[in-house]
């Protein structure tokens, strides 16, 4: 039985880099890290106060056009922004 390929294609690298770049633009104070494991791209977004985790399967990314991918990134970034803006504000004592 052949081993499953664990390396990314150039097209997949381009899409993942695009996701990371767009998230960094939309969430300017956040640190975005990613890893690839078993056909799934795991992204961790940390803005210092909140940490989010997003996963994309390779098949999902392969099906998405660049325009669809932009919409997906925007939708997820907006959701993160809404969640962080609804956090109660803590006042220093």
For 20-78, how does the pLDDT look when each residue is reduced to its tens digit (9 = 90+)?
999 988 888 889 999 998 889 999 999 888 889 999 999 999 999 999 999 999 999 88
**53 assigned to some structural domain:** yes
Q: Is residue 92 part of a domain?
A: no
Residue 17 in any domain: the answer is yes
Q: What is the pTM of this model?
A: 0.74
Task: Answer whether residue 26 is part of any domain.
Answer: yes
1 in a structural domain: no
Question: Alpha-carbon distance 22 to 38, whole Å?
Answer: 24
Question: Which tokens sit at 8?
Answer: 């990314």
CA–CA separation, 5 vs 76, rounded Å?
Answer: 28
The total of structural domains in the chain comes to 1
Residue 19's domain comprises 10-83
Rounded to whole angstroms, how far apart are CA atoms 68 and 87? 29
């Amino acid at each position: 039985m052949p081993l499953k390929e664990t390396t990314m294609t150039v097209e997949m690298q381009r899409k993942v880099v695009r996701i990371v770049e767009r998230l960094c633009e939309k969430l300017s104070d956040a640190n975005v890290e990613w890893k690839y494991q078993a056909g799934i791209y795991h992204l961790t977004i940390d803005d210092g106060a909140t940490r989010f985790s997003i996963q994309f399967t390779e098949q999902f990314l392969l099906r998405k056009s660049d325009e669809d991918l932009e919409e997906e990134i925007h939708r997820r970034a907006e959701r993160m922004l809404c969640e962080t803006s609804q956090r109660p504000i803590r006042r220093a004592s």
